[in-house]
Structure 1
Amino acid sequence: MILAPRHHRHTTAMRWRAAAASAAALLLLSACSDNKADQSGDKNPTSAVTPSTAPRQTPQTSSPDAAEKAAVLASYNAMWVEQMKAYRKADATGTDLEKYASLDALGKFRIDLARMKKAGTVVTGELGHTPTVPDGVDTSGKLAKATVSDCLDLSKWQSVYVKTNEPIPLPSDQPRRYRATATAEKWPNGWMITAYTPHGNQAC
């Protein structure tokens, strides 16, 4: 999905980082070993964004409205679907990635895709993930915001060289399951993922 380092050298580990990146970028998997800061983010596949129209009678609590939380997860998962489409061909053309990712997140994904194309690599298999919105939705600012916390699973993920179809093995020190976080903002047309950070050194 998704979905991060200074790679593309001739060593196996560094070339893998160039190919994977999230997000993501971000790069999605390649940036993993470079990100040590903690963030949180999450989202589920529910395509429709359901805005909250009822006025709030009481102060905002840490638990988000169920519909808004579902909408955040829906946008995050939709982004992953489009991100994986792009990673399978090292090109975002023909995908709807821009509908769900913007700003820092989209920029990282584009950089990642450019590096993959230059290295002649694409992604096969699936990148598993289990996103959640642990801290709810913050409506105190001009735009509602939420953070997504995810656990990425590389067990079925594979990067390969396009010309030879040769698989690129993961670095031996790369956790097969690691954390990733994302920031989401509620824009006029729905929730957008504005930042994405993989934490490749944090197993989950």
Structure 2
Amino acid sequence: MTRPQRRRRHGWKRMRSVPVILAACAFAASACTSSGETENNKTPSVVPTVSTTPSQEQADPTEAAKADVVKVYAMYWKEMVRLFADPSANTSDSLKRYAASEALSKAETSAANLKARGRQLAGQPIIGNSAVTAVALDRQVPSVKLSSCMDVSNWHLIEKANGQPAPVPSERLVKYVVVTTAEKWPDGWKVIRDEPQEGQPC
């Protein structure tokens, strides 16, 4: 190899090492030499291994699924409250982001019945103590089951015309267990069944 070739090759190697040196300075400034040192006297810089926390899904798919379903269930009920607060409004499309199958059809049917009777639900239910009771991610359609405590004591049936309370059974249970099944569909987790266990107070 001729002397000019050796010079060009040596210069290319130095240019190629610039990004590596910059990365080393970014992650550990102490590993980089001071500007007063010469090229030959520099102590070789060591780029530290950056320890990153793996994402929840990478760390444990089961825990990620649990967290996702709990969030989806909260959004499902947010949309349910909107739907029943005004059955005349077109809110079922929003609910479809979080519900499907039996859960969606029951919600739409119930809202239609309220609308036909001129009634709506005012206030806010409280969904508490949501706990995952089963996870099946190895199925063709992955599923997760939840158990929650539904408190409807501040969710009132009223007459839309005058805002007055509509008659309801006096002995009705206002706090009871709800068993929920969610499935992972192509566009995300969806509640497919939400079954009140009205014989099980909580």
TM score, norm. by length of structure 2: 0.66
Look at both structures and tell me which one has the larger radius of gyration over its CA atoms.
2
Give the gaps of 5 or more residues in structure 2.
1-54
For residues 1-20 of structure 1, the aligned pairs below 5 Å read none
Match of 1:192 among 182, 190, 193: 190
Establish whether residue 151 from structure 1 lines up as the match of residue 149 from structure 2: yes
**Residue aligned with 1:85, SS:** helix
Q: For residues 52 and 144 of structure 1, do their structure 2 counterparts lie closer, same or farther at Cα, with a shift above 3 Å needed? A: farther
Q: For residues 85 and 68 of structure 1, do their structure 2 counterparts lie closer, same or farther at Cα, with a shift above 3 Å needed? A: same
Q: For residues 146 and 79 of structure 1, do their structure 2 counterparts lie closer, same or farther at Cα, with a shift above 3 Å needed? A: same
User: Within 1, Cα distance between the matches of 2:163 and 2:89?
Assistant: 21
Q: Aligned-pair RMSD on alpha carbons?
A: 2.1
Question: Shift of residue 171 of structure 1?
Answer: 1.5
User: Within 2, Cα distance between the matches of 1:184 and 1:52?
Assistant: 18
User: Within 2, Cα distance between the matches of 1:53 and 1:188?
Assistant: 20
Partner of residue 108, structure 1:
106
**Residue aligned with 2:131, SS:** coil
Partner of residue 176, structure 1:
174
**Residue aligned with 1:150, SS:** strand
Match of 1:129 among 124, 127, 130: 127
Q: For residues 111 and 51 of structure 1, do their structure 2 counterparts lie closer, same or farther at Cα, with a shift above 3 Å needed? A: farther
Q: 8 Å contact 1:69–1:136 — kept in the other structure?
A: no
Task: Answer 1 or 2: which has greater helix percent.
Answer: 2
Q: 8 Å contact 1:131–1:148 — kept in the other structure?
A: no
Q: 8 Å contact 1:174–1:201 — kept in the other structure?
A: no
By relative contact order (CA 8 Å, sep 6+), the higher-ranking structure is 1
Question: Shift of residue 201 of structure 1?
Answer: 2.3
Q: For residues 192 and 51 of structure 1, do their structure 2 counterparts lie closer, same or farther at Cα, with a shift above 3 Å needed? A: farther
**Residue aligned with 2:130, SS:** coil
Q: For residues 131 and 110 of structure 1, do their structure 2 counterparts lie closer, same or farther at Cα, with a shift above 3 Å needed? A: farther
Q: For residues 168 and 91 of structure 1, do their structure 2 counterparts lie closer, same or farther at Cα, with a shift above 3 Å needed? A: same
Establish whether residue 84 from structure 1 lines up as the match of residue 81 from structure 2: yes
Query: In the TM superposition, what whole-angstrom CA distance separates every residue of 1:146-182 from its partner, at most 9, and x where no partner exists?
Result: 1111111122111100112111244222112011111
Structure 1 stretches of at least 4 aligned residues deviating more than 4 Å after TM superposition: none
Question: Shift of residue 92 of structure 1?
Answer: 5.6
TM score, norm. by length of structure 1: 0.66
Question: Shift of residue 124 of structure 1?
Answer: 0.7
**Residue aligned with 2:144, SS:** strand
User: Within 1, Cα distance between the matches of 2:152 and 2:146?
Assistant: 19
Question: Shift of residue 51 of structure 1?
Answer: 8.6
Give the gaps of 5 or more residues in structure 1.
1-49, 57-63
- Tell which deviates more after alignment, 146-155 or 96-105: 146-155
Q: Number of matched residues?
A: 147
